[in-house]
Structure 1
Amino acid sequence: MRRRQQVLLTITYLLAGCATDPSAPDDGTTGTGTAGNMGVGGTGGVEGTGGVMSTATGHSTSTSGGGAATGGAGGQGEGGSGGEVPIKACTNPDTWTPTSLVDAPSERAWHEAVWTGTHMMVWGGLGDGLYLNSGGLYDPASDTWEATPTAGAPTARFDDVMVWTGSEVLIWGGRDISGGGTASGARFNPSTKTWSPMSTVNAPPPTYEPEGVWTGTELVVWGDDTTAGARYDPATDTWTPMNESSAPSPRDGYVMRWTDSELVVWGGRACADGACPYVSSGGRYNPSTNVWTSTSSAGAPEGTYWASGVWTGTELIVFGGRTCGLATGCEVATGGRYNPATDAWSPLEPNGAPSARHNHSGVWTGDRMLIWGGGGDLLDTGGLFDPETSTWVPTTTEGAPPGRRLHSGVWTDYGFVTWGGVTSEGDASNDGGVYCPP
């Protein structure tokens, strides 16, 4: 129970942008609200009024952030490779174009997003301290939004898993209105605009911050405060538990990516016995053999929390994150490059890298890693890293959306699209931008 209280206070601190110590005693109470298939934060009886208030901070509760929003091309999550994506409408390099506010989803942070090949779909999250089960489909070609239906949608939640399979969006797990993890999900078909449930038989246990990747045939969900995980096959609507032997230690705020043959986990915060060390260890999971192997720690970056990670086709590149609690000044601007073929780490070039940050976007463009946004300070800066030349170039700030964290960011046929998150005003937002790289 103590961990749940701390989690809720941490969320409050992040969304509100407060200087109040989030470890202060929680005198707040859980607000009333409707769970089930009720969204949160809207009107007309579709969305409920539940939330969490804490008098320790005086604000309502709120990576994706960060680290977390998922999305990317070719069915990969954020940071996945998914193959090189041709840019269809990028005529002005190193420029930003704002996303429309007309019919955009309500303001939110800690939501998820994926690229379907034609639209960016955003879903869930926290807005004004309320849990959401609403979302939207954004078409960069026409700069238009269309709402996703709430009928049949998963229960309101944030920090869930969201992947694109090539024909459906899968949503699983995350934190629901109870304040705890949930072991449920649903499938969304953008062609028919309909939701269908996912089986829960043999599903992974409910956790606060699970991570998930799409392998091309299965959704793999693993981690948080457990070594357990499972693989979901949408063709049969079945789960297969993962072997836990030799799995990495339980952790949260870690990087997890698919390499085209293996799942790679690295970093994060491994809380146990009252301590929460930041770890530089990891593991690789082969679904074909159901076997885990450890990643080398020789030459690995310093252990971080809420870092970004991208798969280039040959390497996992990690960047940024935090090395301590919620105090400012714990962010880093360093990282590393991991080659699973040789089980070896090499340093990430620091010269020209973006400033230190966490809860930022990190995506693979097909030939470069793009970093944007994040905190401690709410940033509108970023950079592009070319692994072939080991060089960085900055992204322009002219026309960029206001600095933010806990936003979503996906690579699309039209460039990098970021949306939502906590802005410099300390509130959740529903604006964004499309960035055309140089």
Structure 2
Amino acid sequence: MQSRRSFASFRLLRRSHLLIAFGLGSLLIGLTPWLGVASPAAPGPRPAPVPTDQQALQSPHHGLVPANAMEPTAPLLDRAGWTATASDEETTGENGRAANVLDGDTTTIWHSKWTATAAPLPHTLTIDMKRTAVVSAVVYQPRTNGPNGRLGEYAISVSPDGVNWGSPVATGTVADDASAKTLGFAPQGTRFVRLTALTEAGGRGPWTSAAEINLLGDPGTPEATVDLSRAGWTATASDEETTGENGRAANVLDGSDATIWHSRWSGTAAPLPHTLTIDMKRATTVSALAYHPRTDGANGRAGAYTITTSTDGTTFRAPVAAGTWRDDDTVKTATFTRAESARYVRLTLTSEAGGRGPWSSASEIRLSGPASPAVHGSWGRIIGFPLVPVATAALPGDKLLAWSAYAVDRFGGSNGYTQTAILDLRTGKVTQRRIDNTGHDMFCPGIAMLADGRVLITGGSNAEKASIYDPATDAWSATSSMNIARGYQAMTLLSTGEAFVLGGSWSGNASTDKAGEVWSPDTRTWRKLPGVSAAPALTADPAGPYRADNHMWLHATSGGKVLQLGPSRQMNWITTTGQGTITSAGNRADSQDAMTGNAVAYDIGKLVTLGGSPAYQDSPATQRAYTVGISGSQVQAARTGDMEHARAFSNSVVLPDGKVAVFGGQANPVPFSDATSVLTPELWDPATGRFTPLATMAVPRNYHSVANLLPDGRIFSGGGGLCGDCATNHADGAVFTPPYLLEADGSPKPRPAITGGVPPRAAPGASLTVGTDSPVASFVLMRAAAATHSTDNDQRRVPLSATPAGTGTYTVSIPSDTGVVLPGNYMLFALDSQGVPSVARFLTVS
């Protein structure tokens, strides 16, 4: 394994870089961005890339740590004039007044009352900003002189007047350490913000304390919005470059970041300000504008801006947004202070972000408006985790297992232990636990959901290890180590009940062929498959096998066979009996290699692949999606509709109705970066092959993010980051409610309920007599799945044959072929004639 020395060197370089960039005494949240790109001297519109210090930070594990990964994702709000009050405070034994959290001194603290009779939990701390502002996070700094009173479980609420408090906008649990915690939520305007401490992190007593409280402002991710269709729109500009390049205004609407609008620069450059006006051709309610900087250089990046709207293109109203954008390549979103019905939206640029010249440029402009729940779905509150959820598994009992690495916010090191957490979906409570007994740092692993419902986790930072989690006993145990040490490998359960693994050159000896091997649940040992070399399944990644065999897309079929359908453009059939074999199954139609994309089984023998990029990082992602159909030994691939957005590092989830939702990702994949984030999910309909937008996400979900179908038909989306001392760690998640569950006003749709007839275990081929409280149209099994690094080979949707068996009862048949219904835990859903699913019942098919 080339890890230890290189990883340590990388951490030293990164730490040195941070110290130089930000200063020894700075807190992460208050940092001023450090720019490592020199301003080009010439005004040319497409300067050659200038190397940055970040390009020297090439980790053998994760590649570049970009400059923008070190910056706060939202501005720190000015605390001038703010006041803080608490439910109680200690004034006898110490100066523990609430006001101390706003004094800028981490040595003074607020502490709940502890002399005489301690005030019981919960404790509240309320910030009054004295004015309305858009807020997106509470930054909690624990005391620095001891652990007592560190925040554990929490809730955050907001109020316009300090009297009317709605449901919490965020809940969760934070890690028991002294680091500053950023507790995010969907951005919204408010005056009062209340932090409620429900527990003390270490369980040391009924206390709560805080050294400092800060709030973050608008990150440019408006709540409950959706991208507006740009069909028929036109763009005009105050001036545009047509001599030295194609810099026409129309380029901001062509869907390509490679083409740009540029203000006139040849001859005598047009002076600032410059305007860009979008004509939507019809009156539309608009609430935000997204500005995509050019991707081929820095010149003309927008700095100071105002946005105005008009109904006639002549008279423009008072600005709905104004500010100054950072000088970097991240997509910028301006949230309007008020949604307005308008036909025209004008972006006026009064400065160039880097001060390099009198220029303005843009690659794309997008507008968004309020989302309709019945069309676009809706997001729940942000749920804080005591770790970055890099890997997750859906469990019976409405639980979600999450794990990261040896630390809550940084990756591997072969430390022999892993931070884990479990989210109770019924209560919203998150509990943390460190797993030491398996000697396994389970960062960047392979995962397979076993036939008996346990979770098998292999390799990663401790590259040869394998561990098992049993949800029935909440116990972790070690199983035998693999024959080949691996990280970033792919796994799937086989129709035989064994587990298959392939690839994984991220850790272990990268020069070793990461050939296949199989784990037996009977012997708890691994057997080699020398006939299943990883070589035919490699992509053409310029980084070589270290990246070329990562997280393959595997789909198990009958007789212990597996179709490897990506991310390499060549697909392969794999047999796992005897020595094993791997043979070509043809190319995935006209697709390129699609590393960082994913594949989802949406029906029996039918899969869809979504996005990805030719190389693991620094190569443009694709908008393309392909269907892959399996009929016996024949495999047919075809292009289906394109996504609206190019995506790498996204996550996709199949729903009980067969549609597929895709969340997050980047237009240009860079680990640990929130640049080029895609915040609008999309929903693919297999009946039409088309994608439609869903409600905007509040938090970017890119590298190290996850998504899982939940037993109530909703979806968990979370994570991203795990990069130590940077600002792109997203130790949280949120639950998305798909549109099939919502009325137009956002209220829940009536849904059928399964009332009985679902045993805890059923054999393949069994028939069940299932009761429901109302007529239903169909039943479907959804395999309980596990996700990491954009890949979830456990996902599987199996429509069932069902016939009425009397009033409120149905005979439901489970397929007998274990290549169709792999052994393991499933969620059984009933769907009505409108495709509205019930809450699922868990059963084990084996």
* TM-score category of the 2 structures, normalised to the smaller one: 0.5 to 0.7
Question: Is the CA contact 1:307–1:320 (under 8 Å) kept in the aligned structure 2?
Answer: no
Question: Is the CA contact 1:368–1:385 (under 8 Å) kept in the aligned structure 2?
Answer: yes
Q: Distance in 2 between matches of 1:362 and 1:278?
A: 26
Aligned to 1:76: none
Question: Is the CA contact 2:491–2:554 (under 8 Å) kept in the aligned structure 1?
Answer: no
1:402 Cα shift? 0.7
Q: Is 1:2 equivalent to 2:6 in the alignment?
A: yes
The TM-score normalised by the length of structure 1 is 0.63
Equivalent of 1:372 in 598, 607, 610:
610
- CA displacement 1:113-164 (0-9 Å, x = unmatched): xxxxxxxxxxxxxxx9xxxxxxxxxx998712112532xx332x25x22111
1:206 Cα shift? 1.9
1:290 Cα shift? 0.7
The residue type paired with residue 601 of structure 2 is W
Aligned to 2:394: 164
Q: Is 1:209 equivalent to 2:209 in the alignment?
A: no
Q: Distance in 1 between matches of 2:500 and 2:491?
A: 6
Q: Distance in 2 between matches of 1:218 and 1:357?
A: 30
Change (3 A) 1:318 1:48: farther
Question: Is the CA contact 2:488–2:506 (under 8 Å) kept in the aligned structure 1?
Answer: no
1:20 Cα shift? 5.8
The residue type paired with residue 636 of structure 2 is T
Equivalent of 2:637 in 369, 372, 392:
392
Question: Is the CA contact 1:359–1:405 (under 8 Å) kept in the aligned structure 2?
Answer: yes
- CA displacement 1:207-257 (0-9 Å, x = unmatched): 43123232242121110242112111122121111112xx24222222112
Counterpart mapping for 1:28-427 below 5 A: 36=175, 40=182, 42=184, 143-150=377-384, 153-155=385-387, 157=388, 160-166=390-396, 167-174=398-405, 176-180=408-412, 183-198=418-433, 200-215=435-450, 216-225=452-461, 226-244=463-481, 247-259=482-494, 261-269=497-505, 271=507, 276-277=510-511, 279-298=513-532, 301-303=536-538, 304-314=548-558, 315-321=561-567, 332-341=568-577, 343-350=580-587, 352-366=589-603, 367-375=605-613, 376-388=619-631, 389-397=634-642, 400-414=643-657, 415-423=659-667, 426-427=675-676
Question: Is the CA contact 2:460–2:507 (under 8 Å) kept in the aligned structure 1?
Answer: no
Change (3 A) 1:233 1:433: same
1:278 Cα shift? 7.1
Aligned to 1:24: 56
Question: Is the CA contact 1:221–1:229 (under 8 Å) kept in the aligned structure 2?
Answer: yes
Change (3 A) 1:396 1:255: same
Q: Distance in 2 between matches of 1:25 and 1:355?
A: 28
Q: Distance in 2 between matches of 1:311 and 1:144?
A: 31
Question: Is the CA contact 1:299–1:347 (under 8 Å) kept in the aligned structure 2?
Answer: no
Change (3 A) 1:31 1:267: same
Segment drifting more, 424-433 vs 354-363 = 424-433
The residue type paired with residue 318 of structure 1 is Q
Q: Distance in 1 between matches of 2:488 and 2:50?
A: 21
Question: Is the CA contact 2:386–2:408 (under 8 Å) kept in the aligned structure 1?
Answer: no
Question: Is the CA contact 1:211–1:223 (under 8 Å) kept in the aligned structure 2?
Answer: yes
1:192 Cα shift? 2.7
Question: Is the CA contact 2:175–2:408 (under 8 Å) kept in the aligned structure 1?
Answer: no
Percent of aligned pairs sharing the same letter? 14
Aligned residues: 323
Change (3 A) 1:45 1:382: farther
The residue type paired with residue 374 of structure 1 is G
The residue type paired with residue 399 of structure 2 is E
Change (3 A) 1:290 1:348: same
**DSSP-derived class of the 1:348 partner:** strand
Q: Distance in 1 between matches of 2:666 and 2:503?
A: 24
Change (3 A) 1:5 1:371: farther
The residue type paired with residue 553 of structure 2 is G
**DSSP-derived class of the 1:2 partner:** helix
Question: Is the CA contact 1:256–1:266 (under 8 Å) kept in the aligned structure 2?
Answer: yes
Segment drifting more, 38-47 vs 405-414 = 38-47
Q: Distance in 2 between matches of 1:369 and 1:280?
A: 25
1:196 Cα shift? 3.2
Question: Is the CA contact 2:401–2:423 (under 8 Å) kept in the aligned structure 1?
Answer: yes
**DSSP-derived class of the 2:418 partner:** coil
Question: Is the CA contact 1:268–1:279 (under 8 Å) kept in the aligned structure 2?
Answer: no
Q: Distance in 1 between matches of 2:498 and 2:681?
A: 33
Q: Distance in 2 between matches of 1:290 and 1:19?
A: 53
Q: Which has the larger radius of gyration?
A: 2
Equivalent of 1:434 in 664, 669, 683:
683
Of Structure 1 and Structure 2, which has the larger fraction of its residues in strand? 2
Change (3 A) 1:48 1:418: farther
Q: Distance in 2 between matches of 1:355 and 1:214?
A: 30
Q: Any stretches of 5+ residues in structure 2 without a counterpart? A: 15-48, 59-64, 73-138, 142-173, 186-192, 196-211, 215-286, 288-329, 331-372, 539-547, 614-618, 669-673, 688-846
Q: Distance in 1 between matches of 2:70 and 2:460?
A: 23
The residue type paired with residue 369 of structure 1 is L
Q: Larger relative contact order (C-alpha < 8 A, sep ≥ 6)?
A: 1
CA RMSD in angstroms, aligned pairs only: 3.8
**DSSP-derived class of the 2:7 partner:** helix
**DSSP-derived class of the 1:349 partner:** strand
Q: Any stretches of 5+ residues in structure 1 without a counterpart? A: 10-17, 50-101, 103-127, 129-138, 322-331
The residue type paired with residue 163 of structure 1 is A
The residue type paired with residue 472 of structure 2 is A
Change (3 A) 1:192 1:427: same
Aligned to 2:722: none
Q: Distance in 1 between matches of 2:464 and 2:488?
A: 14
Question: Is the CA contact 2:624–2:639 (under 8 Å) kept in the aligned structure 1?
Answer: yes
The TM-score normalised by the length of structure 2 is 0.34
The residue type paired with residue 193 of structure 1 is G
Question: Is the CA contact 1:408–1:420 (under 8 Å) kept in the aligned structure 2?
Answer: yes
Q: Distance in 1 between matches of 2:426 and 2:478?
A: 30
The residue type paired with residue 372 of structure 1 is L
Q: Distance in 1 between matches of 2:591 and 2:465?
A: 35
